[in-house]
Structure 1
Amino acid sequence: MISIGTYHVLTIDRERLPGIYLTNEDGDEVLLPNKYVPETFEVGGSIKVFTYLDHMERIVATTLEPFATVNSFAFLKCAAVSEIGAFLDWGLEKHLFVPFKEQANQMKVGRSYLVYVYLDEKTERLVGSSKTNRFLSNKLVLLSSYEEVDLIASHPSDKGWNMIINQKYLGLVYDDEIFQKINVGDRMKGFVKKVRSDNKIDLTLQRHGYRSIEPNADLIIRMLKAEGGFLALNDKSSPEKIKDILQLSKKNFKKAIGTLYKQRLIKIEPDGISLVE
């Protein structure tokens, strides 16, 4: 069976008027319409395609790359709203349908929303949902402290930012760990700070302890070179000023300049730091 909402590498079986027919190892076939057929192809060769339902509810293949696949999250713009729900642009000709019951807040044309793409078992259609938390579970967390993870910014809270972790879990980056502007849907790397006894996950965007020194020191060197060899920052500078200029905490800044000073790469002066010539 050729499932929808995902990529397949299929064999080019034959060419016909509407396009080329592709088959898998079990003999299941799908049409790749002419508008997606590459200029050069060879019967018997293979091709990577994405499969979904077209406007006639038929399974078809495309060489276009959607912004999301089934069972994944994406930040998509609302292209239209009808009496049955919203339709989001996900990079294909047929928009992704989001029923009203799957909208955390009523969607409006032109605005973008974080949604989860899944297969509706009742209709056998791909749909989206902005009620993203119900597709995440911290019941069994297979993560460890200091582990690097992929994050998607879900929504802010009074404590920080809720993050989707590895498309599976929900975690939190506290405000005092954030040194950059974050928007819903932003993707970034992060690190597990702690998995609590109740399976809540604390995150950080900085490497832990001495692991953070090397990249932070490199950042400072690059900033120094860009600013002509001098930065008006030192260990007496306010945390706010350091965060504004370098997007670092004062603690990590002090560790980094300490490392650079010991390596005799910088001088620490009363009004800032400078590169050693």
Structure 2
Amino acid sequence: MELGKKQVLTVVKQVDFGVYLGSEKEKVLLPKKQVPEGIEPGDPVEVFLYKDSSDRLIATTNEPKLMLGELAVLSVLQVGKFGAFLDWGLEKDLFLPFREQTFKVKPGDECLVTLYVDKSERLCATMKVYEHLRKDSSYQKDDRVEGIIYESSDNFGMFVAVDDQFSALIPKREVTPDLRPGMRITARVTEVKPDGKLNLSVREKAFIQMDKDALMVLKKIEECGGTLPFNDKADAERIKKEFGISKNAFKRAVGHLYKERKIEILADKIVIR
């Protein structure tokens, strides 16, 4: 009997509260409300095995949203003293320990998880899915993809599971202030690495993005009363904080506005003409 997987077991005994499946030496209960009509000893039944709230091995004919060896995005139902509980599609919610979370979840959040068997032989969820993601997608450079951000790194950027299954990264230089773990995003493939992992950007190609950035910068200057108290020689961190874009992107946007004669670049500020 394999915990966390679907398998076909044989009915060995019928009781008032259900049927036992397996063999005389090793059997598991399928509760009465789960028993298919007309079932008899010797009949095969496909079931999923897990442990109930009393840590007893139990069978179900219901379809779980996640089995061992799989990945799935599940909703957080509640957060308890030792972790969160996820909607698993079964009578018992799936436990996600705090130590297995890549970011602090709250009720209503969605998180990408896989299953593991803990030291007590119980099925639990983990958000540490990096090693479980595939690297054999058919996506190419400049393709548009969808995915979920499952982890953030100050050193590397935002880790993304494209289509909830393929390994991808938004490099640190491409991370924008609005991105956060748990978000579903649409992005552009900027590179397919030799090992099959994808690099992504939520920004358009430079010549398209420049127009969008220019409009955003112009609007920001207007909100500042027509004067920005620094120019394109400002510190990169200040630019990132104020506009959420890199210094190079800011310089391209400012240059675009200057050529269109919409702004004047002075020694210590930028003003609208």
TM-score, normalisation: structure 1:
0.57
Pairwise CA distance, 1:271 = 1.8
Identify if the C-alpha distance between structure 1 residues 262 and 178 changes in structure 2 by more than 3 Å, giving closer, same or farther: same
Give the counterpart of 1:192 among 186, 189, 200. Answer: 189
Cα distance in 2 for residues equivalent to 1:264 and 1:75: 50
Identify if the C-alpha distance between structure 1 residues 133 and 79 changes in structure 2 by more than 3 Å, giving closer, same or farther: same
Structure 2 residue aligned with 1:244: 241
Cα distance in 2 for residues equivalent to 1:131 and 1:104: 11
Pairwise CA distance, 1:72 = 4.4
Pairwise CA distance, 1:185 = 1.1
Pairwise CA distance, 1:149 = 2.7
The 5-angstrom pairing of residues 121-132 of structure 1 reads 129-132=126-129
Give the counterpart of 1:173 among 163, 170, 174. Answer: 170
Give the counterpart of 1:156 among 126, 130, 152. Answer: 152
Q: Which amino acid aligns with 1:221?
A: L
The 5-angstrom pairing of residues 69-88 of structure 1 reads 72-74=72-74, 76=76, 78-80=78-80, 87-88=85-86
Query: Secondary structure, in 3 states, of the residue corresponding to 2:85?
Result: strand
Identify if the C-alpha distance between structure 1 residues 132 and 269 changes in structure 2 by more than 3 Å, giving closer, same or farther: same
Structure 1 residue aligned with 2:137: 141
Cα distance in 2 for residues equivalent to 1:214 and 1:96: 48
Pairwise CA distance, 1:199 = 0.6
Q: Which amino acid aligns with 2:222?
A: K
Pairwise CA distance, 1:86 = 5.5
Cα distance in 2 for residues equivalent to 1:75 and 1:228: 44
Q: Which amino acid aligns with 2:85?
A: F
Pairwise CA distance, 1:73 = 2.0
Tell me, which stretches of 5 or more residues in structure 1 are unaligned? Answer: 1-56, 60-69, 120-126
Query: Secondary structure, in 3 states, of the residue corresponding to 1:105?
Result: helix
Two-structure CA RMSD over aligned residues (Å) = 3.9
Identity fraction in percent: 23
Pairwise CA distance, 1:132 = 3.2
Q: Is 1:254 aligned to residue 251 of structure 2?
A: yes
Larger radius of gyration: 2
Cα distance in 2 for residues equivalent to 1:71 and 1:172: 18
Identify if the C-alpha distance between structure 1 residues 96 and 273 changes in structure 2 by more than 3 Å, giving closer, same or farther: farther
Query: Secondary structure, in 3 states, of the residue corresponding to 2:258?
Result: helix
Structure 2 residue aligned with 1:13: none
Give the counterpart of 1:105 among 93, 99, 123. Answer: 99
Query: Secondary structure, in 3 states, of the residue corresponding to 2:207?
Result: helix
TM-score, normalisation: structure 2:
0.58
Query: Secondary structure, in 3 states, of the residue corresponding to 1:206?
Result: coil
Pairwise CA distance, 1:105 = 2.9
Runs of 4+ in 1 over 4 A off after TM superposition: none
Q: How many residues are aligned here? A: 198
Q: Deviations over 1:32-70 (max 9, x none)?
A: xxxxxxxxxxxxxxxxxxxxxxxxx897xxxxxxxxxx9
